[in-house]
Structure 1
Amino acid sequence: MEAGSENLLPSSPTYIFLAPAHHGGLGGIYGADEWCMRKVPADLKGSPYYSYKALLADGINRRASVTGNAGDGQINWVLQASTVYSQATTGTPTIGTTNSKKLFTFPLTNKIRPDSITDFGSITWTGLNPNWTTAPYNCNNWTDGADINVGTIGNYNATSSNAIFDSALIVPGLITCSSGGKLYCVEQPAPPIRFFKYIYLAPLSPIGHNGNYGGIAGMDTICNNDTMKPVELLGKGTYKAMAVDQSITIPSTPATRRATPNPLNWVLRPNTTYKRVDGATLFTTDINGLFSSMTNRFGEETENNGYIWTGLNSDFTTATGYNCNNWKSSASNYLGKIGSANTNVKSVALSYTNRPCDQTTNSSEPIRVVCVEQ
């Protein structure tokens, strides 16, 4: 992923939400951020661009302050200066306003947990002391979920500094790493606009799918399913499948996606560069939203990237009759056109061969879909 290349749109107000409980083995700070991104509530996805990070410290990958309440030596810190943060609930009650040092001063205006959540627990992993310095106990940098280690927690029902360090516990601030702790997930500001779009293969894991997706719309649904996406693309736009269907006479059914001629709901934009998640350029489209050559292949791995259902001929026209009955059939007597994710030869990438629609693989490699950012 190219640093600073995301195109996130700001929203108002700035939210903090509680992610569901997880043991202390979060996969480190960045694993905690991924947990936040995979648990963003649906009502916070009004914009296709959003980003949240965990209010969690380990002193190495994330730090709030070296000196108590000073905000010095911050690393990858998640709160912004002089910003009003609100609960992610009806009425958006204010949690508090940060100071110029990107820290809350206590007490908060309201607790972080919305009253609408009838949850009488309290455990929130933080890794923080009550003065925002990094606590010494953090489940081995948030990688260990064993009960022989401990991590530092806050109380999400508190408005005092107990919100980040629960001093009311028998052993203040500490709990075993096998316990289930929630996370404070903090909305992030918009980085610079980027001038390209992303493409990825869905599902993320190399598991094939037969030709029955319930239609083109079902393919698009898979592309926008957060469990299918690389974490780098969570909160970064909406996606559609690079596949086409056709009009059917009996029963009368119009096409829903076509590349050329007369483009219909086509997924590639004119004069736009498309890249893989790793930053490798795939191609740049022409004024018709098509491309004549590829710099790199759709798949990132060195081999076994598999194949993709497309319904396309090599010139982007619709391969009539080869779309698994408009992507609604998994019967072996229907055929679907597939491309290859293992090549940068455009004609092969778009239109390699035909496969029976009950198949999920070709030559033991999965058949998936190419998902294109809109």
Structure 2
Amino acid sequence: MAVINRIAGFADELTAWRRHLHETPELGFDCHETARFVVERLREFGITQIEEGIATSGVVAVIEGMGEGPCIGLRADMDALPILETTGAAWASKRAGKMHACGHDGHTTMLLGAAKYLAETRNFAGRVALIFQPAEEGPGGGQVMVDEGIMDRFAIDQVYALHTLPGVPAGTFETTPGPIMAAVDTLHIEVIGEGGHAAMPHETRDPVVAAVGIVQAIQTIVSRNRNPLDDLVISVTQIHTGSVDNVIPETAYINATIRTFTADVQLMVHRRLREVAEGQAASYGVRAEVRIELGYPATYNDAAKTRFAAEVAREVVGDGAVIEDRPREMGAEDFSYMLEARPGAYLFLGQGAGPGLHHPGFDFNDAVAPVGASFFARLVERAQPLAKTE
């Protein structure tokens, strides 16, 4: 088995769709133009059950198979990033400061390709729900779509997604059971002291020195509070304070990202961050106000669904191009909310050499779109096969 011939036959059409989407990126929940393009294609395919405006600009379309059965969900994200593109491609973004630097244009295209094929053949039982999601890059459109009831409303009982992966040979699938991507939380610390003249520090309570002490002490959570067998990252990414050389400021601000895989580690980190920040602040005679903003949970692949998805991937690209034990990574994904609601799997699809994700020179490799579309299509046919007749 390989790439589906019918899908390979309209590869040029996939490329045209993808490059159009690349030229017209949209951010966050404001993916209305992208959604209109998606809906126009779906209607061209003869799909009539289409619900728009979910999570502001999300779309769910249903294709009916040729027999009774359950409903499988396939998800693609649609939003871009606030990055100034430097690819120089003929199809580069026409919207300065916005670009598809994470391959969501390709994800949407691959799902559209599968939709075109599945709408033509309908060689499966039950239904497939095509989920086109806005706002993966931060706002959390996946959570909103789940909260707005798509899993129950469309009776979805399993769900899958693909993400392009530069730096891995084109057409290679990588996944793993259990957590494949981390939970992400955001730390905010406001250090409150008492400002004054920098020449008379003894008359102040200096938040700058305290902030430096807090940042250094935070690093001990990873080195001294974490079980060495548990993955954990705490990266301080911002310190803001002061405005002039001869004034000790009143306050300092510290910002960090927290990446964990288990609830136990996450809770330990939250507790220790408060203890460390408040204790360090007290030792400097200042006060720390700690706020932890919960973000995406860990992206957790169901073991059985992951094995099944890998089997399907092998049918498309062969045994040697499927890795089932990919090391988990500290990036985060809001597909995690859909996997909390229903069992399923998240897979990466290699796209070859080139700049990495979120880089201004990144561009999706159009050659792998038929591979991803074929995977989605075969997944549906294998998960919900038609009953054999005598």
TM-score computed with the length of structure 2 as normaliser: 0.20
> Whose helix proportion is higher, 1 or 2?
2
TM-score computed with the length of structure 1 as normaliser: 0.21
